DNA sequence: TCGATTGTTCGAATATTTTCGTACAATAGT
DNA sequence: ACTATTGTACGAAAATATTCGAACAATCGA
């Protein structure tokens, strides 16, 4: 649901997580530069997961979080790019750095 | 602030107001098809106003609300169109339609 | 000025979110 | 099996938002 996505993105902590995921690619919860205890972070990741913005998969003992860019772009074209203040993506492929 | 805009748009009542403003143009508070008492509506309009999404001007005894499309597009390109699920406006003049 | 129209403001109840400590669960390595 | 590493789940307190009735304010027309 759109409002659920907008709500998830309307929090500075969660938005900063999404920005970092967009810039650096999938990452485990621990690496995020957010000044919060892990139980708080876990809550924010849950909100991101339940709104469909992030997908989480287990990677050994850690959990890897990835931005669901394709799903989001398919359902709400340009929304993620607009929120991330990037030019609208024209289905262009990202290159490895 | 971006999060403030996203928050304002993350409520069904406010989003429906924004959609109606987008489709029908500026309107007074009374005309909106929202099942809420006026004090509740007033609250939602305040949130929309304070986030910079809507501008309100007095028009006789009523208040006219207008979507601040230009300001929004200037500061957060494509955001409003993406939220309204419309194709991104190119804001470019074209010879062909 | 009176009365009708249109919204805002106030205040308090309700609901929802955020926060964070503690306990718990899953996995990996030794 | 034991231990360390990563997160989740729970629960309760604090912070925010929503809701709505009632009172108030601004404007207009007669």
Write out chain B residues lying below 8 Å of A79, CB-based: 79, 82-83
The per-residue pLDDT for B81 is 98
Our CA angle for A70, A42, A51, nearest 5°, is 35
d(CA B87, CA B81): 6
Please state whether strand C lies within 7 Å of residue B97 at its CB atom. Answer: no
Per residue of chain B (97 residues), give pLDDT as tens: 999 999 999 999 999 999 999 999 999 999 999 999 999 999 999 999 999 999 999 999 999 999 999 999 999 999 999 999 999 876 555 565 6
Other CB atoms within 10 Å distance of the CB of residue A93:
5
User: Can you tell me whether residue B57 is helix, strand or coil?
Assistant: strand
Sheet of B27-28: strand order equals: B27-28, B62-67, B54-59
């Amino acid at each position: 649901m759109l409002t659920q996505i907008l709500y998830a993105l309307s929090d500075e902590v969660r938005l900063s997580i999404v920005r970092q995921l967009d810039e650096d690619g999938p990452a485990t919860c621990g690496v995020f530069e957010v000044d919060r205890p892990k139980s708080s972070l876990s809550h924010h990741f849950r909100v991101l997961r339940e709104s469909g913005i992030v997908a989480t998969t287990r990677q050994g003992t850690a959990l890897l979080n990835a931005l669901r860019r394709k799903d989001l772009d398919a359902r709400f074209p340009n929304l993620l790019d607009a929120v991330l203040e990037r030019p609208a993506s024209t289905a262009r492929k990202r290159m490895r750095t």
